[in-house]
A and B are shown apart, each in its own frame.
Chain A
Amino acid sequence: MRRSSVSVIVVVFMIIALGGLAHGQVLNIAIPQDPDSFDPVKTVAAATSEVAFNIYEGLVKATPEGEVVGALSSHWTVNDSNTIYTFYLRDGAVFHDGTQVTADDVVHALNRARDPEVAVRAGELSMIRDVRSIEKGVEIELYEPNGAFIYTLSEVYASIYPAHAADLARNPVGTGPYYLQEWLPNQELELRRFDQYWSGEKPYFEQANFLIIPDENSMVLNLKAGRVNLIPRLEMTVLHQVENDPNLEVLSAPMNLVQVFSINNAREPFNDWRVRKALALGVDRLAILYGAAWGHGTLLDSALSPSMANFYNDALHEVNPYDPQRARELLKEAGHENLKLTLTLPANYPLHVQAGELVAQQWKALGIQVDLQIVEWGTWLERVYTQRDYDVSVIGLAGRLDPHAILVRYTTNNSRNFFNFSNERYDELIALGLRTVGSDRRAVYLEAQKILAEELPGVFVMDPPQLAAMTKGIQGWRSYPTYVVDVASLYR
């Protein structure tokens, strides 16, 4: 009697366990904040692209190596003058609502993305003259050759969705390996595997939940307690809490973010190259790497991160070595031995604030009087970024797949050039780089980076690490040079 009741219990438990298996594999991912909108042409928050990468696809998509490969287009060809791209659509690609992907959908989505009346980032696709549907795909005609064009097609704003879709902001319809099942603001986003995905390969996890946990300490505790399996972007301040936990694993990769002490090149006395050079030689970047980032991260000599391997100039190490002696001489030469400057720090970025506090000490050692000013993010954006009313500041500039998108910032008339940097040769090179297609681009951008290192719009410090913390057993993590979490590549 007793024995049979035991076996009944065992059987019941086995059924429950099997039921659990049948329920499918679930991955819980912790992110600090909600997306803003899933309408590809309206979204501006980085938090959106992180999730949207799994839902939407463009004609092409980014790879972890920083290349682009076909997504909804199986392949493409370019005409001899490099102005007409022909994309061939994949057979059998369907949207999450079950409808077939047609060339008309592509034309509609791309036209909407470059319509300044609707799309926030319409300007980024302004190189397109016309998009037309052809028998097996679409043809995109450019005004002139453009080396950055193919990369822009991998951005969220160039995602493809059905022409009949309404209310994309909350109900995205894409072609990605996952679709959005539910979005509970401040709580979670539930993604489900899309079983009609064109590749035919099914990702391991049937369900992926992005849990919103704003506090970094509680993120870590949730990981340790097993409620969360993956933190894609762990704050460095809590790294020590996970490092020695045998059940957890932390993978580090460059974030493709350029931390830079920006110098207001238009303002006295920083318009004097010797003063900027003195500031650069007075920065002990290694000390900042250890002091602010616990030694994680990559030192930078350029405005590009080494994660942009195809374009990064790795021959600039000796341009600005730490040399306080020479820095003092330069200040003396320029007649600014008693230099005073205000260092404006954005309060919401502990990494930048710490870097700023460290550099203040290093510059004080040169006899410079440094006045630290810590401001709230909104104030920073208004005063430093928009009005350019500052001496020196520090910020991280997010990388992209294509060097042009990053480097164009330093051209004379660019609206994002809050450095007020101006160099004629540099402007020429950036214009040339955009017109150049193929392998010749590299040489152009190598020279452009050299100019930035020598002429100093600011002092480039480091690319902080992107730390992905996960429970042991989660495999297949791929870190991208863009702001994404690739759920489909993960398995247990």
Chain B
Amino acid sequence: MKFLVVLFLALQCAIGVHAKEATPLADDPVVEQRLITIAEELRCLVCQNESLAGSRADLANDLRREVRTLIRAGKSDAEIREFLVSRYGDFVLYRPPVKPTTWLLWFGPLLLLIGALWLLISVIKHNQRQKDTPVLDADKRAKAQALLKETDSSK
């Protein structure tokens, strides 16, 4: 009985194992090279942290096929990007265009940097001013010395 179960499971494995064929590269290495350059700047919509060039998602495969077709049809890189943006929005671009809705995205880090620099400079200036001003004025210094002498003489 045990043997039969093991045999059955082993057969199941044998049926299940069939390697998926590698997707064929385009015949033309020039097309493929351009595809990779374009697709690396594009986001895969299914696995959003992957580029269209690197993703193995089904949709990425289909989109690469479309891009290949467009390359063969002699479209420029800008036209190919426009093809995808008009369907999927700016989200597919890893470098979104500069326009009012993306100003914060583009210039926000610069604003933060300027803010941080301003803070740094004001802190440094503040510290400098404290260093320059003597901690004790003449009156207080005299009083302190008098006190020190007192303690010395009492020893």
Does chain A bind chain B? no
